[in-house]
Amino acid sequence: MSAAISLKGVSKGFLDGERYREVFVDFDLAVAPGEIVAVCGPSGSGKSTLLNLVAGLLVVDGGLLNLRHGGVDYPLHTLDEAARGAVRRRLVGYVFQFFNLIPTLNVLENVRFPLALNDRDDLLPQARERLATLGLADRLDAFPDQLSGGERQRVAIARALAHEPPIVLADEPTGNLDAGNSEQVADMLWSEVERLGCVLLVATHSEAIAERAHRVVELGR
Amino acid sequence: MLGASVEDDKFAKAVGARSFEFPRDHGSHPDYRSEWWYLTVGLQTDRGREFGVQFTVFRQALFRSSQPDDPWQNGQVYLAHVALTDVAGDQHYEAERLARGHPQLAGVSIDPLSVYVEGWRLNLDHDQWSLEAVTDTFAVKLHLEAQKPVVYQGDAGLSAKGPGQASYYYSLPRLAARGDISIDGENYSVTGLGWLDREWSTSVLSPNQIGWDWFALMLANGEDVMAFRLRRLDGSRDPFDHGVVVQADGTSRHLAMSDFELQPLGYWRDERNVQWPIRWRLTIDNCEWIVSAAIDDQRMDTLLTYWEGLVHVTDATGQRVGQGYMELTGYR
Amino acid sequence: MTLIGLSFLRFFRRTPWTTLTAALGVSLGVASTVAVHLISLAVAGALSTVGLPHLQGVTHLAEREQASMDDYFALRRQWRNGKLPDVVRMTPIVEGYVVADGRRLHVFGTDWYAAPLRGMNSGLTSSGLTGSNVDYQPGAVVVDESVGLHAGDVLTVGANRWSVAASVSANLDGGVFADIGDALQLLDAPADRLSYVGVQVHDPFADLAALLEDLLPGLSAALPEQSSTLADWHLRSVAAEQPSVQFSKSVLFNLGALGSLALLVAWFLIYQICVMWLRRQRIVMERLVALGVGRDVLARYFYAAVAALGCVATVVGLAAGYYLAHFLTELSTAGFDSVPRIEMSVAVVLKAAFSGIAVALVGAWIAFRSRTHFFEAAVPGRSAVHWWLPVAVVLFAVGILVPQSGLAGGFMAILAASLVAAGLVAPLLRGVRQWVVRLPGSLLAKLAMREVTWFESDLGVAVGALVLAVATSLGVGLMIESFKADFERMLDQRLAHETFIDLAGQDGLVVAEALTRRFPDADVQAYGRLRARIEGTAVELGFTRFDAAESARYGHEHALAENEALVSESLTTALDVGVGDTLRIAGRELTIVHEFSGFGDVQPRLLVDNATAETLYGQLPFDRLSVAGVPSDALLAWFGERPGSSPRVQQRDAMRVIALEIFDRTFAITNALTLLALLVAVIGLYNAITALRLNQLATSDLLDALGVNRSEKRRVDLLRGLTIGLFAVLLALPLGLVMGAVLCQVINPRAFGWSIELQLSVPAMLWPLGLGIAAAVLAGLAPTPRERLGSG
């Protein structure tokens, strides 16, 4: 599996109260297939915005944003919301800092969710294995409110990787965890991503996480 | 109720002198449309606490019955008022009962005489009058005895009130009264003097007469005075005003309009803004009396609204020389 | 501190959609209450002009077996002697019948001087007799307009003539009202005859009762009748003399109760919205408390802000209710000659203000008390219920099992059941969670279905309100359908003949004879009726030739023998008798052989054969005919040729259609009110689902991130709504059945004297259940407003 993320001359701004704030101006970024890139910067520098642009949850104001997978280009800057959603569904796995899981579905159901969306129930055995690897084999029937913070993040990783997407986005995946859990979660995320050969774009302000990446992109300086 | 009716021509009118027979004439005169038994009594306890009692039964014939023996069809209606004035308590109590003429409701029976309206009774038994009336708040039980002969008002009992309008009218002044009254359960034994007026007619006030002011006074010197003033619209004296002075020995003298003067001196304004003249100057010949209400509010707030109450009589020096009752009608 | 109040108001402005729906919901509740009250006032106004003039001012009738006028005077002396302190005044009354010009007249005599001046006999004095006192002339009578005479006419009875002083609308067929002396003469009765005594009893609560009746029209019909004694006389409320008035008041009370349903649902709505608002303002309020602002200060400003909303809702609801009243009145009376006039009054404005503002405040108060425990941990696992649960069960039992609790008791039972059901929604949702988790389906379906049981605190109240609205619609619908089924069956029985003729005063026997001569093949049957009294209860005594066919119309198999009687259900209830018991009437004993359902009858009825009636009353008046075998146009033509007043000729089928149309119109208002309540419930549910969505924004964002597309999200909304709807109707079904049963077997007998057999009509059940599900789906699919607060 190979993918590429390419941003060229991208601009993006937001209305901040009554002021319009430019977060990205003429921004370029290229991520090679299998590359792990840490995106760092102070609060408000645009880390989450970058991830959301790549996920197609936000639209660039200007410039080009392209995803490439299996020899096919997906120019997100030209696609409408439904098309971007379809791309995201197939090609992206997302891990958030908070609220990763659907509260009314149990662990296994949460992990199965992207498989159901993509009609890829054939990947269920692998997903189960992954859960076992992540130490959650005996928690499959538990609901999110019955899990610890670290367990929830592990389930989030399992869910993000269940459909084996070429691109994994992680927004402060350990931001809500203590040091011990952070390291554990980071280890698991890295090992699974490297095993699958996905691109991992991780937004973080943790130096420990940034040091693990192949490359660090600094925003806001 | 006491106004004219289309059936007036079916009733007898007081047009000329008549001879009075007693005790028969103390009873009812159903040939005439209107009639009343009007008793007023000034009372005191042995400690000098003053009370006044008024008891009146009005009879009105609504129609000339063709079936006078049918208990439900005798055509009469009786209105009774009883009132008690408590001078020391500055209170005036009144009650009213109205009933059709029926042997078991209201009427006048003779032998012995009884004028009754549902349990309130004025009886006459062998020259002894008695009054019995019980209300929710007060009760009156009195015995009264005449001390003077019957006094005929007007011209030998024919009392003219206007052109073609007259009544038969006599009085029993200075009745010696004794008995008991009670107010909210508290009893008082009392004695005093009473005055009984009897009148019957088929007459009405003329259109320019709006009411009258009537006085029945019993003086300490043994004289009794009745005087009334018909009030005219234009405020002038009515030539039909008259009165009577009864001497201690029972002889009486008729008072024509010119023989007496009544002048209001003071007023009481009630909560409806009606001004009642409750203080008067009465002048007969050269004698002058001031007649003042024992208490201001002795208004009868009944089907007919009028003022009827105990009065004190003082002479020109201010000394109390008598008591009596005063009646004021037609004030608005 | 003003800033706090201002901030609350601004918060409402920043959540315009929620605020608007809250105001709308409460406005609808107010509108429902106002509309019903206006209609009730108009009807009550018309009722107040209907009265038996000789009983104006009378509060009770005193009766004693074989009492004479001497007994009356003895009673009166007791009163005058102070032994009956509660009595204000009394009058003797004689009642009887005479025949004049072939027409039976119902004569009432009272002492027109027993209580003039204030209250009693005002019905007669105001009818046209002169003078502030009754300026009575002998031989003057007052007649009901049905007699067909007017002031100045002469009523001839035998050899005597009576001048008519006035004609009144007493709603008493053939009524003649006279002074007692004249009445005794009319009846040719001795001077000591007495029927009963009219008494005015002092009621220290009369003013309060009048005020309550103004605020809750029909309330007097809801309270159980008190019977008592006066000395050794049996005392009975005079209201029983006018069963049509009582009947109408019962209808008004029922309507009032139904009109309050929307308000009750609106209360649920405002409570739930207040909870939503408080939740969204929680952080702000916690900060303020931390800064030293007292909780009571926060409360006061919150209440004031909600009360301001209530004021707006009151004004809108008042206007809407006024127009709704007009609309509903036109809906139910289209084509009728007289339509009640809708007029605003102070009582209605007060009621609207109370409904809108007080309901909003109560909702806000309960929400604030339960949801603003700042900095305190929630007490885990302990449910708030349950002290009121046994209380509600007891109230329900008392309302059902104690007939003396009256109509009010019946509605109290329904209210108790409703509150129990509504209160159990959240616990039940929690309780079924483990079962819902096991339901099969796609992940999106599972997500949607499980939300109802996961977030019961967000949805519980709104679902409870929906349950209430659906259950009421179901219960009322079942009652109406059951009623209609019984009614149609009754019509089929009663309208067994082809043509009915109301003779409008003509002598039935004479007309029947002439009819038979003209149409020899016709089957003609004459009917008559009288007013009678049994143990002080006024009853309608009907008579005709009661052969087996005639008896069958009332469900009895055999012809009626002499001294046998058929009685209506309301009579058996009123006199506490049954089949096999005997009744004493006019000095004779009759045996009850069958009880029939008397719906549509405002008065207890007793039916006997002509022979029995003749032995009781002598010459009988027949005022109606049934005819078979003659076309109605031929009948009309024949009547047209005859002198005298034109009778009313009605065909069976036409009568059936008219009767059913009136039936449907009667319940048009009912249906409109239940729909209104349902609408308020939908608004509440929409708000609850919106709140749920807003609380679950993170999940929504997550679904976006996972690539769930718009149509899949709509499917989730649909399933969510469907699940809520299904849950609500599952709860509403048993509650609705209970309501229907109570309406049929408890409310109806207590209000109108007859019970209805509850029939489980599938359409009557499916319609409200389907509406409930549709309402929930609609609420679920409606878009979420874009009201997102910024952080902090």
Domain with residue B282: its CATH number is 2.40.370.10
Burial class (CB in 10 A: 0-12, 13-18, 19+), A3: buried
Inter-chain CB proximity A109 and C710 less than 8 Å: no
Number of domains present in the structure of chain B: 1
Burial class (CB in 10 A: 0-12, 13-18, 19+), C326: middle
Do C93 and C109 touch, CB atoms closer than 8 A? yes
Inter-chain CB proximity B134 and C82 less than 8 Å: yes
Q: Pick from C63, C278, C96, C257: which is nearest to C177 by CA?
A: C96
Residues 647-706, chain C, touching A (beta carbon < 8 A): 696, 698-699, 701-706
**Average pLDDT score over chain C:** 81
pLDDT tens column, C319-358: 999 998 888 888 777 666 666 778 888 888 888 888 889 8
C-alpha distance from residue C378 to each of A199, B318, C457 (Å): 44, 89, 13
pLDDT tens column, C76-116: 999 998 889 889 889 999 998 888 876 778 899 998 877 54
In a domain, B11, yes or no: no
Subunits with 3+ Cβ pairs within 8 Å of B are C
The whole-angstrom separation of Cα C767 and Cα C729 is: 11
Residue B17 in this model has a pLDDT that exceeds 90: no
Residue C507 in this model has a pLDDT that exceeds 80: no
pLDDT tens column, C52-67: 777 777 888 898 878 8
Span C724-728, average pLDDT:
90
- What is residue C131's predicted lDDT score, i.e. its pLDDT? 34
Inter-chain CB proximity C116 and B98 less than 8 Å: yes
- What is residue B103's predicted lDDT score, i.e. its pLDDT? 93
Span B237-245, average pLDDT:
87
Mutate to test the interface with C, among A102, A105, A112 (most CBs of C within 10 A): A102
Q: Pick from A205, A213, A177, A173: which is nearest to A46 by CA?
A: A205
Inter-chain CB proximity A104 and C708 less than 8 Å: no
Inter-chain CB proximity A85 and C709 less than 8 Å: yes
The whole-angstrom separation of Cα A159 and Cα A170 is: 12
Inter-chain CB proximity C703 and A88 less than 8 Å: no
Q: Is C450 on the interface with A (CB under 8 A)?
A: yes
| Cis-peptide into A125, omega within 30 deg | no
Residues 135-164, chain B, touching C (beta carbon < 8 A): 136
In a domain, B28, yes or no: yes
Inter-chain CB proximity B303 and C77 less than 8 Å: no
Length of chain B: 332
pLDDT tens column, C643-687: 665 667 777 777 777 777 777 776 777 788 778 788 888 887 877
What band does A125 get if pLDDT is binned at 50, 70 and 90? very high
Q: Is B80 on the interface with C (CB under 8 A)?
A: no
The whole-angstrom separation of Cα C163 and Cα C128 is: 13
Which chain C residues are within 8 Å of B119, Cβ to Cβ? 77, 80-81
Mutate to test the interface with C, among A53, A104, A111, A124 (most CBs of C within 10 A): A104
Beta carbons within 8 Å of A191's beta carbon, 6+ residues apart: none
Which chain B residues are within 8 Å of C131, Cβ to Cβ? 1
Which chain B residues are within 8 Å of C76, Cβ to Cβ? 118
Residue C224 in this model has a pLDDT that exceeds 90: no
Do B292 and B314 touch, CB atoms closer than 8 A? yes
- What is residue A199's predicted lDDT score, i.e. its pLDDT? 94
By C-alpha distance, the chain C residue nearest A56 is C705
Inter-chain CB proximity B73 and C81 less than 8 Å: no
Select the CATH number that applies to the domain covering A3-218 from these four: 3.40.50.10420, 3.40.50.300, 1.10.3720.10, 3.20.20.140: 3.40.50.300
Q: What's C193's DSSP letter? A: B
Which chain B residues are within 8 Å of C185, Cβ to Cβ? 73
- What is residue C575's predicted lDDT score, i.e. its pLDDT? 86
Please report which helix (H) or strand (E) contains residue B36, including its range.
Answer: strand B34-44
By C-alpha distance, the chain C residue nearest A108 is C443
Inter-chain CB proximity C702 and A100 less than 8 Å: yes
Which chain A residues are within 8 Å of C706, Cβ to Cβ? 88-89, 94, 113-114, 117
In a domain, B17, yes or no: no
- What is residue C120's predicted lDDT score, i.e. its pLDDT? 39
* Cα-to-chain-centroid distance, residue C78: 40
Residue C181 in this model has a pLDDT that exceeds 60: yes
β-sheet with A215-218: strand ranges across: A92-95, A167-171, A199-203, A36-40, A215-218
In a domain, B19, yes or no: no
**C181 Cα to chain B: minimum distance (Å):** 5
Smallest Cβ distance to C73: which of B63, B104, B303?
B104
Radius of gyration of chain C (CA): 32
Q: Which 3 state secondary structure label does DSSP give B38?
A: strand
**Average pLDDT score over chain B:** 91
pLDDT tens column, B278-324: 999 999 988 999 999 999 999 999 888 999 999 999 998 999 999 99
Query: Which of A147-161, B261-275, C290-304 has the weakest average pLDDT?
Result: C290-304
By C-alpha distance, the chain B residue nearest C114 is B99
pLDDT tens column, B168-187: 999 999 999 999 999 999 99
- What is residue B7's predicted lDDT score, i.e. its pLDDT? 63
Residue B4 in this model has a pLDDT that exceeds 70: no
Query: Which of C41-55, C127-141, C628-642 has the weakest average pLDDT?
Result: C127-141
Inter-chain CB proximity A94 and C706 less than 8 Å: yes
Span A14-19, average pLDDT:
82
0.95 exceeded by pTM = no
Query: Which of B194-203, B273-282, C289-298 has the weakest average pLDDT?
Result: C289-298
Beta carbons within 8 Å of C596's beta carbon, 6+ residues apart: C554, C555, C556, C566, C567, C568, C569
pLDDT tens column, B124-137: 998 899 999 999 89
Residue C226 in this model has a pLDDT that exceeds 80: no
What band does C127 get if pLDDT is binned at 50, 70 and 90? very low
- What is residue C267's predicted lDDT score, i.e. its pLDDT? 83
Which chain A residues are within 8 Å of C709, Cβ to Cβ? 82, 85-86, 89
Smallest Cβ distance to C138: which of B63, B104, B105?
B63
ipTM at complex level: 0.89
Residues 761-780, chain C, touching A (beta carbon < 8 A): none
- What is residue C380's predicted lDDT score, i.e. its pLDDT? 41
The whole-angstrom separation of Cα C371 and Cα C275 is: 7
SS3 letters for C23-60?
HHHHHHHHHHHHHHHHHHHHHHHHHHCCCCHHHCCCCE
- What is residue C355's predicted lDDT score, i.e. its pLDDT? 84
Smallest Cβ distance to A105: which of C443, C696, C710?
C443
Residue B228 in this model has a pLDDT that exceeds 80: yes
- What is residue C116's predicted lDDT score, i.e. its pLDDT? 47
Q: Which 3 state secondary structure label does DSSP give C190?
A: coil
Do C737 and C478 touch, CB atoms closer than 8 A? yes
Inter-chain CB proximity B136 and C82 less than 8 Å: yes
By C-alpha distance, the chain A residue nearest C454 is A104
Chain B meets chain A (3+ C-beta pairs below 8 A): no
Residue B116 in this model has a pLDDT that exceeds 90: yes
Residue C206 in this model has a pLDDT that exceeds 80: no
Mutate to test the interface with C, among B66, B73, B121, B302 (most CBs of C within 10 A): B73
Beta carbons within 8 Å of C661's beta carbon, 6+ residues apart: none
- C321-326, long-range: CB < 8 A, 24+ apart: C321/C30, C321/C31, C321/C32, C321/C33, C321/C34, C321/C35, C321/C37, C321/C38, C321/C352, C322/C34, C322/C35, C322/C38, C324/C31, C324/C32, C324/C34, C324/C35, C325/C34, C325/C35, C325/C36, C325/C38, C325/C39, C325/C42
Domain ranges of chain A: 3-218
- What is residue C790's predicted lDDT score, i.e. its pLDDT? 40
| Half-sphere exposure in the Cβ direction for C574 (13 Å, CA) | 28
- What is residue C336's predicted lDDT score, i.e. its pLDDT? 60
Q: Pick from A118, A121, A96: which is nearest to A108 by CA?
A: A121
Span A193-206, average pLDDT:
92
**Average pLDDT score over chain A:** 90
* Cα-to-chain-centroid distance, residue C301: 40
- What is residue C654's predicted lDDT score, i.e. its pLDDT? 72
Q: In terms of residue numbers, what domain contains B122?
A: 24-328
Beta carbons within 8 Å of A129's beta carbon, 6+ residues apart: none
Chain C meets chain A (3+ C-beta pairs below 8 A): yes
Pick B233 or C561 by higher pLDDT.
C561
Span C433-439, average pLDDT:
89
Span B127-151, average pLDDT:
94
**B55 Cα to chain C: minimum distance (Å):** 17
Domain ranges of chain C: 1-50+246-375, 53-206+226-241, 386-496+660-782, 504-646
Query: Which of C127-141, C359-373, C650-664, C737-751 has the weakest average pLDDT?
Result: C127-141
